[in-house]
Amino acid sequence: MTIRFGLLGAGRIGKVHAKAVSSNARAELVAVADAMTEAASALAEQYGAQVRTIEAIETAPDIDAVVICTPTDTHADLIERFSRAGKAIFCEKPVDLDVERVKTCLRVVDEAGATLMVGFNRRFDPHFQAVKRAIAEGQIGDVEMVTIISRDPGAPPADYVKRSGGIFRDMTIHDFDMARFLLGEEIETVSAMASVLVDKAIGEAGDFDSASIMLATASGKHATISNSRRATYGYDQRIEVHGSKGAVAAENQRPVSIEIANADGYTRPPLHDFFMTRYTEAYAREISHFIDCVESKSPAAPSGADGLIALALAEAALKSVTEGRAIKVSEITGPLADRSAFQGR
Amino acid sequence: MTIRFGLLGAGRIGKVHAKAVSSNARAELVAVADAMTEAASALAEQYGAQVRTIEAIETAPDIDAVVICTPTDTHADLIERFSRAGKAIFCEKPVDLDVERVKTCLRVVDEAGATLMVGFNRRFDPHFQAVKRAIAEGQIGDVEMVTIISRDPGAPPADYVKRSGGIFRDMTIHDFDMARFLLGEEIETVSAMASVLVDKAIGEAGDFDSASIMLATASGKHATISNSRRATYGYDQRIEVHGSKGAVAAENQRPVSIEIANADGYTRPPLHDFFMTRYTEAYAREISHFIDCVESKSPAAPSGADGLIALALAEAALKSVTEGRAIKVSEITGPLADRSAFQGR
Amino acid sequence: MTIRFGLLGAGRIGKVHAKAVSSNARAELVAVADAMTEAASALAEQYGAQVRTIEAIETAPDIDAVVICTPTDTHADLIERFSRAGKAIFCEKPVDLDVERVKTCLRVVDEAGATLMVGFNRRFDPHFQAVKRAIAEGQIGDVEMVTIISRDPGAPPADYVKRSGGIFRDMTIHDFDMARFLLGEEIETVSAMASVLVDKAIGEAGDFDSASIMLATASGKHATISNSRRATYGYDQRIEVHGSKGAVAAENQRPVSIEIANADGYTRPPLHDFFMTRYTEAYAREISHFIDCVESKSPAAPSGADGLIALALAEAALKSVTEGRAIKVSEITGPLADRSAFQGR
Amino acid sequence: MTIRFGLLGAGRIGKVHAKAVSSNARAELVAVADAMTEAASALAEQYGAQVRTIEAIETAPDIDAVVICTPTDTHADLIERFSRAGKAIFCEKPVDLDVERVKTCLRVVDEAGATLMVGFNRRFDPHFQAVKRAIAEGQIGDVEMVTIISRDPGAPPADYVKRSGGIFRDMTIHDFDMARFLLGEEIETVSAMASVLVDKAIGEAGDFDSASIMLATASGKHATISNSRRATYGYDQRIEVHGSKGAVAAENQRPVSIEIANADGYTRPPLHDFFMTRYTEAYAREISHFIDCVESKSPAAPSGADGLIALALAEAALKSVTEGRAIKVSEITGPLADRSAFQGR
């Protein structure tokens, strides 16, 4: 069985997914939609697909699944529409920047019984997967403390920052998801500090560019996250998990692994300078996993609930910075009765 | 000029300092005092020194300086006595477990005009010094975020834990000092989380064995500290400083640096398993620096005020855990007018 | 312009090149030929190509270039035929196992003015290319000593060994080419030692499984090569170049870069265990370079002469082992007048 | 029992051994002799020893052992004299630059039943010892191929070169000993290449500054050695042993292990730049081992025969360069009957 895909959004990340879908022997890119017709045409031509409107894809009998790469503020609406249209949905994170809107959306997904996967691509990085596997195999015993260092090569323009939902919702959200993925237990408390150290324009846009976050689970496991919007040495993405029997760490990735020695010392080249080259393999594996789920009609992970919780953690972090105290995640997500959205995971 | 030393306390750490003093060409170990006469005799004999009482050392004309390695609860008293006796004083950390007692003690030191150095030995580790030097040389630009991972090879007995003042005052205190040393700016806010994950007996003794701490300065620089009382792979002591132009990190130290490759992969031996073998060189350099200060009659660092601030940070961390909020260091140290103790640094 | 390819040989390496050709936006795989019709069909179908006979490809107007992946003993004949047919030729190494046969073949290529590239894929490995680039940029000054460690994960079956031409012609030949590539000066003398340490069956087949080789150029630069047919830890491929101002080294590659720490130490996973996964990127870049050369009608490198010289070095190494002395390469290639074959490079 | 030492030669290496002897709790430095009286006095004073003549030390009843650090051409004579005087002897390598002279000397040692240890300090480096231990524990199975990379930070003055006996006798001799130490089987054949690439003055002095050497044992194990008199990045001393079940390698040592990352990449400081700082611990362990042997009256290793064989390998290497062929070590050492000198080991 070949899964027939429609791609919504032919921008930067849309291109990445178009390639991943086309390279996958079990998938076919059938249609591309984008408000910018030229972008849609170029991508469609490259992969032998058709240009269609979103509406046409919605009702097309030859489309099994969609990949949503449109602007963030359209995600929730599109997820609802395509859930109702009976398509499997892969949506770039976040579902929405507002926790309440996400909840409503996920309720629609649940009612429609749709398959929804949210694009936390890092879970599919081969190195981070190897970390997860080492934990699952018991190689480090019980997980106790997760350390995530996550720094972008360079700060985004202030314009982007304004639309981004802020550093916690835009950048740390990946690290929140990774912390949950590795802790293997739900996070209960969030404490955060944030500063503007890199670019004053980011501060003027009401956001931060440097952040430290501590997370704790009910049983007392911790995770710490260190974020910066700028690292001169490249895209710094490290993870370390300390457990009762040992520790496991994923090193940074660099495009070329040589070392030059001279009187100044031993120098290795900088890291990848772009998330797309760093996570090339992760994007391919992510789509492959989505295809697995669609084929086997099994629930996809990261699920919509995973997306919702990561967003709630981001909101808790922001509240912690503002109020100078540790925030219970339940303050954001509400009492347990309301947490049914989290059950789908 | 040879600095003539009296050693107070011939226990584990006393032996380390006896060796450092004796190996130093500018110093001479003249006398050793210990309540356990046999311990004092053994050490005195090994280094050609005399056994004397603390009182005798206090009034001895042939003693220029003392190294205080007695139990913690005697430190403040001994510092005061030897300050008044006109001796230069090197004291193992902490000065006392109580902030108010430390303040009183430092006032006596100030009035006596005594030289007091507190044993934060890690500042003298060649690798951490190289990190500091790289910062001072501007190699990473402005310091923005310090990451300290500090884990003991194994948890201390519950008995020790009870007398220790708790993980923040006993273990993290070194990391607090290191954070200040590297941030180059006073810490304003402390936020901490702590758990019992390693040994329930530690919890029953009222302490924690796992802790995460975030620190922030007035200008928004951050430090994060990750502590565990147990690391199966050895004495894990890493430091990383991220700055505007780059980053500098000190790797872990291991006694033997070989690598064995086979079908299971590439394996390097574990780290040092004891702080004394890990910090051998640091202890020698520490005493050498103290001798420099005594010789040149210049103020010693880490000073008594450094000891006081590190202790205040520990207290703030504990308060943060208890109250679930970020603590201003000034809540511990009092309003600025009272902070004269910090001026001596 | 799209270069239209015929693929001769649909075996293991044929598949690698089929993929590389098909993935290249400037190339099209038009036809596949193989004595095993099923293999040809399967590959043709996968990439939307036709199955044709070698004869049909030879005369086809819609074929610009061929990739020769047939058994070694057919290479020279096919090169001659396709040279005369006016096709650009990419041929897997070696051109032939016999130096004289290679010379004759290259003469035909020269007369036909054909483009011939020989498949020394390692020249296109991104890491080794970075080594070459560092040298070219003058980062290590004048090249003085090249060290190549090259070990297979496991020994081939004795059957393969018998047809292989022996370790020097089959395995070391890649290292000979790499040594020349990096030394930047022709090799004058070869000295070698060889043993059977891994598998007696290899010795019974008249070959060796462990070899050490020293090479020297006229100006006194050296290269040493260390070969083994078995490395339990994976496909061990390291290169180091020591020069007047420094050194540059390419580290080993491994599929996953995590590190697990426990009481036994710090362990990283083994290396790649197969040359095709190790050199995936190299194969793609190799074909891309061939396409460059065909498009621009410029001479291809590694050339037929490069293939000939590498083979001559292999023969010299074998002679050195047999005779227990250093062999001048000119003893193999004959007096300078006869070396016109080398000029094409 | 305390071993009472006389030190012959108060130069650079004499100072190293004076310190090692004095720091050893089981030894006492009693007397120092040197033609330069001031050098002897300074050293004697530093360690509380007396200045004596060689003759006085020879007949002194309060001297158990001597450390010979005088110029090379006096070694054999002094070994003979002190053997006859019944003292245990530690002699810096080499015993002599002439194989025949060494043989005669060792015969005298044998007749006197004296304890003689030759200063191949690298056998006592903790990292190389760990390599040896890993082999002994069977962690890599049977040893097959040893790779030694050994480069000095800077070339010695031509003056030194003239007296040195040449690169093989002066520098490679350490690597020859290490190869034997690790191969665990006697070397049968030597093949070498040598060039002048670093400093023409060395060539004018009749020596080489760059050398590659291959060694083979009777069972076909190999070792390769790569030497250069200059490495801009420091004292490059690496060892790797490949075996049937795996490999073990000793990494380079550097005084400070930090890493600085910036836009140019990741840089670690250069290596040690001096053999004395690189091998500090080895020198201490070497003397400690000698004391063990003297105390236990057991034969010392590396023995005089070890010194002789290493020298024979050096001579074989030189002969190989001159004659362009592999040299059997027996060509240097003579027929087996004459090899009794090697039995003592």
Query: What is the side-by-side order of every strand in the sheet holding A50-51?
Result: A50-51, A27-33, A3-8, A65-68, A88-91, A116-118
* pLDDT < 50: residue spans in chain D: 336-345
Return the amino acid letter for D61. Answer: P
CA nearest B245 in D: which residue? Answer: D262
Q: Does A246 touch chain C (CB under 8 A)?
A: yes
Q: Does A330 touch chain B (CB under 8 A)?
A: no
Taking CA B180 as the corner, what is the angle to CA B178 and CA B181, rounded to the nearest 5 degrees?
Answer: 60
Q: Is the Cβ pair C221, D149 closer than 8 Å?
A: no
Helix segments in chain A, DSSP class H:
12-23, 37-46, 54-59, 72-84, 99-112, 126-136, 158-164, 167, 173-183, 200-204, 275-278, 280-296, 304-323, 329-333
Phi then psi dihedrals of residue D255, to 5 deg: -65, -30
- Best of D237, D266, D268, D271 to mutate (most A CBs within 10 Å, chain A): D266
Chains that touch A (3 or more CB pairs under 8 A): B, C, D
d(CA D180, CA D306): 9
The CATH class for the domain spanning C3-122 reads: alpha beta
Hey, which residues does C249 pair with through a beta bridge? A259, C240
| Distant-in-sequence, close-in-space partners of A205: CB < 8 Å, separation ≥ 6 | A158, A161, A162
Question: pLDDT category, A335, cuts 50, 70, 90?
Answer: low
Nearest CA to B109 among B332, B303, B315, B334? B303
Hey, which residues does C273 pair with through a beta bridge? none
B72, two tokens: 């913690």
* Average pLDDT value over all residues in chain A: 95
Q: What is the mean pLDDT of residues C39-54?
A: 95
Angstroms from A344 CA to nearest CA on chain B: 30
Looking up tokens 């599929």 gives C255
In contact, D199 and D229? CB cutoff 8 Å: yes
Burial of D289-311, coded b for 16+ CB within 10 Å and e otherwise, reads: bbbebbeeeeebbbbbbbbbbbb
Angstroms from D240 CA to nearest CA on chain A: 18
Q: Is the Cβ pair C261, B269 closer than 8 Å?
A: no
Angstroms from C231 CA to nearest CA on chain B: 8
Q: Is the Cβ pair A212, B222 closer than 8 Å?
A: yes
**Which 3 state secondary structure label does DSSP give B59?**
helix
**Which 3 state secondary structure label does DSSP give C53?**
coil
* Average pLDDT value over all residues in chain C: 95
Q: Is the Cβ pair A248, C260 closer than 8 Å?
A: yes
Peptide bond into D302 cis (omega under 30): yes
Architecture (CATH level 2) of domain C123-285+304-344: 2-Layer Sandwich (3.30)
Q: Is the Cβ pair D232, A263 closer than 8 Å?
A: yes
Note the pLDDT tens digit of each residue in C85-116.
Answer: 999 999 999 999 999 999 999 999 999 999 99
Angstroms from C42 CA to nearest CA on chain A: 14
Query: Mean pLDDT per 10-residue run, chain B (345 residues)?
Result: 95 95 93 96 94 98 98 97 98 96 97 97 98 98 98 94 95 98 97 98 97 98 98 98 98 96 97 93 96 93 96 98 97 66 42
Q: Compute and round to an integer the Cα radius of gyration of chain D.
A: 20
For chain B positions 186-215, those within 8 Å of chain A (CB to CB) are 189, 191, 193, 195-198, 210-212, 214
CA nearest D325 in C: which residue? Answer: C325
- A27-33/A50-51 β-pairing: parallel
CA nearest D244 in B: which residue? Answer: B262
Taking every pair of Cα atoms in chain C, the longest distance, rounded to a whole number of angstroms, is 67
| Distant-in-sequence, close-in-space partners of C45: CB < 8 Å, separation ≥ 6 | none
Q: Does C262 touch chain B (CB under 8 A)?
A: yes
Distances (CA, A) of C244 to B183, C145, D192: 40, 10, 21
| Distant-in-sequence, close-in-space partners of D51: CB < 8 Å, separation ≥ 6 | D31, D32, D33, D37, D40, D41, D44
**Which 3 state secondary structure label does DSSP give B238?**
strand
Q: Does B147 touch chain A (CB under 8 A)?
A: yes
In contact, C213 and C242? CB cutoff 8 Å: no
pLDDT of residue D337: 44
Note the pLDDT tens digit of each residue in D179-237.
Answer: 999 999 999 999 999 999 999 999 999 999 999 999 999 999 999 999 999 999 999 99
Q: Is the Cβ pair D262, B246 closer than 8 Å?
A: yes
A98, two tokens: 């507002």
Taking CA B219 as the corner, what is the angle to CA B218 and CA B225, rounded to the nearest 5 degrees?
Answer: 75
Share of chain C above pLDDT 90, in %: 93
Query: What is the side-by-side order of every strand in the sheet holding C50-51?
Result: C50-51, C27-33, C3-8, C65-68, C88-91, C116-118
The neighbour count for residue B181, using CB atoms within 10 Å, is: 21
Fold of the CATH domain B3-121+286-296? Rossmann fold (3.40.50)
Chain A residue numbers with beta carbons less than 8 Å from the beta carbon of C256 are 126-127, 130
In contact, A211 and A125? CB cutoff 8 Å: no
D303, two tokens: 């023995």
Q: Is the Cβ pair A226, B228 closer than 8 Å?
A: no
Distances (CA, A) of D158 to A94, A191, B282, C219, D199: 70, 66, 40, 21, 9
Phi then psi dihedrals of residue B52, to 5 deg: -140, 165
- A116-118/A88-91 β-pairing: parallel
Chains that touch C (3 or more CB pairs under 8 A): A, B, D
Q: What is the Cα C251 distance to its own chain's centre?
A: 19
In contact, C232 and A218? CB cutoff 8 Å: no
Q: Is the Cβ pair D248, B261 closer than 8 Å?
A: yes
pLDDT at residue A341 is higher than 70: no
Chain C residue numbers with beta carbons less than 8 Å from the beta carbon of A257 are 127, 250-251, 253
Architecture (CATH level 2) of domain D123-274+304-344: 2-Layer Sandwich (3.30)
Angstroms from C271 CA to nearest CA on chain A: 14
Helix segments in chain D, DSSP class H:
12-23, 37-46, 54-59, 72-84, 99-112, 126-136, 158-164, 167, 173-183, 200-204, 275-278, 280-296, 304-323, 329-333
pLDDT of residue D25: 87
Which CATH superfamily groups domain A3-120? NAD(P)-binding Rossmann-like Domain (3.40.50.720)
Domain ranges of chain D: 3-121+286-296, 123-274+304-344
| Distant-in-sequence, close-in-space partners of D193: CB < 8 Å, separation ≥ 6 | C189, C191, C214, C216, C222, C326, D211, D212, D213, D321
Note the pLDDT tens digit of each residue in C61-78.
Answer: 999 999 999 999 999 999
CA nearest A244 in C: which residue? Answer: C262
Angstroms from C317 CA to nearest CA on chain A: 29
d(CA B280, CA B17): 10
pLDDT of residue B23: 87
B302, two tokens: 């880490």
Q: Does B245 touch chain D (CB under 8 A)?
A: yes
Chains that touch B (3 or more CB pairs under 8 A): A, C, D
Q: Does B262 touch chain D (CB under 8 A)?
A: yes
d(CA D309, CA D328): 13
Chain D residue numbers with beta carbons less than 8 Å from the beta carbon of B134 are 258, 260
Taking CA C223 as the corner, what is the angle to CA C319 and CA B258, rounded to the nearest 5 degrees?
Answer: 115
d(CA B8, CA B66): 7
Fold of the CATH domain B123-275+304-344? Dihydrodipicolinate Reductase; domain 2 (3.30.360)
pLDDT of residue C341: 45
Q: Does C158 touch chain D (CB under 8 A)?
A: no
Closest residue to D256, CB basis, from B126, B260, B261: B126
Q: Compute and round to an integer the Cα radius of gyration of chain B.
A: 20
Q: What is the mean pLDDT of residues C194-200?
A: 98
pLDDT of residue A231: 98
Closest residue to B145, CB basis, from A214, A226, A232: A226
d(CA A167, CA A163): 11
d(CA A147, CA D296): 53
